[in-house]
Amino acid sequence: MKRILITIILLFTAVAIFSQDMSSYMNEYTRVDGTVAERLALLEAVRGTGRTGIGEFYHDALKYFFTRLPDIKTRTDEDMAERTAVLLCQALGAEKYTAAAPEIWRIAELFDIDKDESDPSTMQTALIALGDINAQDHVPHIVGRLNDFNTQAITSSETILRAQAGVIGCIKALEALHDIRGYKPMFFVSIDEAYDLPVREIAANSLPNVVENPSDVIIEIINDNTNDPRIKLTAWNELLKSKAPDSSKAKVTAAAIAASWTYPTNVRSLQANSKEMRRSAINAVKQFGVADNSVYEYLERSYSSNFNTNAPDYAEIMATLNTLTAVKTDEAVELLHKFLIDLNERRRGGPWGSKERQLFEWVVSCIGSTGTQSADIRSLLSIIQRTGTYTPQEQNMAANALKELGIQ
């Protein structure tokens, strides 16, 4: 203890004498007969001076730390070694000393939470420090460890608490590193109920800071049929909240509509998730545009599947028709034309009930709003206007559409 006090006094005196020359500190730190406690005291004294620009000193101290691991004999030594590791990681993080990344990662591995005797905050601190020093080369390591956390089966409540400390460290590091590779494992933390709510919230709140345009990852999640509709819907909503450009969101929109039809399940809650994502994506086409023509196939399916059922989802039909009307592309107008042809055939051959009358009113109104110059559509509306099988009210609907299209 006497030596520790002498060392601390020496340090505070040296601050006034030396500028950035840390050789006297390092010489004292690397004394062969120095103890774990003495080295920790020296580092605490250096940190206490508030000195900056000494990342190299802390890096050398961390490298020396590994050479003296055999000195750790007792539980007290272990505790002080962990405090030393935390101090050095925090100091290097504050110094933004990127060159220390390999040694800091080694600390994360050395004090991994899987080692029951270690304090999980040590691993967490090391991981956070990797983000602080912009350790881009270690993104794969951090992503891999977070994936391990997400997939490992943990039953012990104590182990779960320890694991969550490591998870938070990974999240904070990946958030600081702004690398899209970190987005997916962080997303799965945010929805995994095996984690406590505060941990999930940390992940969810960090996602927007990882990357502004997560569309490529979101598409991957949505297209992966090992993910159920609840997961797909959550990923879709994350995209809508992101700062991704409209062109990127349009690509994901097409994937979301397609995926909403391609997950067969009898579970009602999952069916509801698919339907919610589909309706949201259909509405999103109006805002983000049509990324590829597969969108039209699924828009037609949304209309037709509801048309050919005794319990149609009128909200989905209306969303589909409104979207086709809004985009006003040739393909969209042609689909509306096709719907009107089908309705016209149904009017002549039956059945013609309240469902058909409602859809007829919507389709005719939507066609009028497109401003189309299609001769085929105008001709069909003219026929409807003059055909006796239609009621005067229905004929008047066709006439109003023609007026909107410039035909008096």
- Is residue 302's pLDDT more than 80? yes
With 0-12 / 13-18 / 19 or more C-beta atoms within 10 angstroms meaning exposed / middle / buried, residue 13 is exposed
Give the angle 367-368-369 at the CA atoms, nearest 5°: 90
* Average pLDDT of every residue of the chain: 92
Contact 62, 88 (CB under 8 A): yes
- Per-residue confidence (pLDDT) for residue 5, from 0 to 100: 46
85 vs 117: which has the higher pLDDT: 85
- Per-residue confidence (pLDDT) for residue 71, from 0 to 100: 87
Contact 336, 366 (CB under 8 A): yes
- Is residue 6's pLDDT more than 60? no
Contact 385, 399 (CB under 8 A): yes
What gap in Å lies between CA 22 and CA 210, rounded to an integer?
37
* 163-199 confidence digits (pLDDT tens): 999 999 999 999 999 999 999 999 999 999 989 999 9
* 255-264 confidence digits (pLDDT tens): 999 999 988 8
- Is residue 18's pLDDT more than 80? no
Predicted confidence band at 16 (pLDDT cuts at 50, 70, 90)?
very low
Q: What is the pTM of this model?
A: 0.89
Average of per-residue pLDDT across 283-308:
94
Among 125-129, 206-210, 262-266, 303-307, the minimum mean pLDDT is found in 262-266
Average of per-residue pLDDT across 358-366:
96
* 102-123 confidence digits (pLDDT tens): 999 999 999 998 876 778 999 9
- Per-residue confidence (pLDDT) for residue 161, from 0 to 100: 87
Q: CA-based diameter of the chain, in Å?
A: 110
* 265-279 confidence digits (pLDDT tens): 899 999 999 999 999
- Is residue 1's pLDDT more than 60? no
Residue with tokens 């229905």: 394
- Per-residue confidence (pLDDT) for residue 20, from 0 to 100: 64
- Per-residue confidence (pLDDT) for residue 97, from 0 to 100: 97
Q: Is the peptide bond before 351 cis (omega within 30 degrees of 0)?
A: yes
Contact 136, 99 (CB under 8 A): no
Number of H helices and E strands in the chain, helices first, is: 21, 0
- Is residue 58's pLDDT more than 70? yes
* 211-270 confidence digits (pLDDT tens): 999 999 999 999 999 999 999 999 999 999 999 999 999 999 999 999 999 888 899 999
Q: Which residues neighbour 58 within 8 Å (Cβ) at sequence distance 6 or greater?
A: 88, 91, 92, 95, 97, 100
**H/E element holding 399?**
helix 392-404
Please tell me the number of Cα atoms within 13 Å of 61 on its side-chain side. 33
Measured between alpha carbons, how far is residue 406 from residues 120, 131, 226, 366 in Å? Answer: 73, 63, 51, 15
| Token output for 283 | 């509405």
